[in-house]
Amino acid sequence: MDDTVRLKQTMLNVTQQLIAGCRFCVQISQDPDDKTPVHCVKYSGCAIPVLVNAATCLSCQEYKRSGKRPERPDAAAGS
């Protein structure tokens, strides 16, 4: 794996960790080359998600307010 692919995969992993708590996020692509990996229903206003990039999530910051539990609560506890 070259450095570019590794960096893209790291960025995707960080995005997944960050947005895992957002109740509007229904799916995150596993493809590191996907420029809009986040499937979000906040901006669609219905059950069909729109595709957004990580920068949109960072500016939206809904993941900070959302009540959805993280997939791995033990990770949040640091164990």
Among 9-17, 29-37, 53-61, 68-76, the segment contacting ligand SF4 (CB under 6 A): 53-61
CB-nearer residue toward ligand SF4: 12 or 63: 63
**Is residue 25 near ligand SF4 by the rule CB under 6 A?**
yes
15 binds ligand SF4 (CB under 6 A): no
DSSP string, 35-49: SS-EEESTTTSSSSP
Q: Does 28 bind ligand SF4 (CB under 6 A)?
A: no
For residues 24-53, one letter each, b for 16 or more C-beta atoms within 10 angstroms of the residue's C-beta and e for the rest, the string is: bbeebbeebeeeebbbbebeeeeeebebbe
